[in-house]
Structure 1
């Protein structure tokens, strides 16, 4: 990661705690970082934090709130800013994962129409993904959820 900065280092630490199963600590770390970010601040930081904060929520409604925040922030990120962090990133490449997460949130909450809408939006952006492990994982997740919703 070429553009590591202090905020991204803190976000990475919280992500690691969540991936290790320490969801409560991760939520607190993310919440502390979120307090330091302002609505006018770096949308890349807000998008990244919200995307991963959603993953450590126990309440599906809270997960949805954070995933919506991630999508809103992503709409403000430029490709140039994303590439500052890593040369391979593009904003359009965020869309399949963001919409997959929203589709899953809506499925959990029983709003199948909105879930299908976000599956369609995720599918519409999959061409932005590389043919690598991450791209295959997101594509498989989209298709798996689409089958569940049919």
Structure 2
């Protein structure tokens, strides 16, 4: 497989997508924040002094997805058509964050989905660090993507 982010001199470049077809594209990413059961319980009960952790983390995820090309050097700025952040947990010590990002364009939104869940997880950490500093973020992974020349991908497949 050729690496497309390098020019003939071996230097980094932004991939030229001008000849690619416009297609509907979706990416779903997921991460985990592992914490003490008391920390998770306080998040779910709304007993964190800085406010509603999940509401703020959701907004952070949306904002981060929209700014991905500002922080990941070779990402194209994309007109995102949808961003959705969902939270679930194992009832004990793990908070799961899933982000779905959509666009209609010439390149995919995998990086936007991964950035969204990463920023949401970092926001959870930031809002809860006074209570617990040893929370662990990850693994962070792409779960699925649709559209584009390379076709669909699903981690489960």
TM-score higher than 0.5 here?
A: no
What is the TM-score when the length of structure 1 is the normalising length?
0.28
- Looking at both structures, which has the greater relative contact order when contacts are Cα pairs under 8 Å and sequence separation is at least 6? 2
What is the TM-score when the length of structure 2 is the normalising length?
0.28
Larger Rg: 2
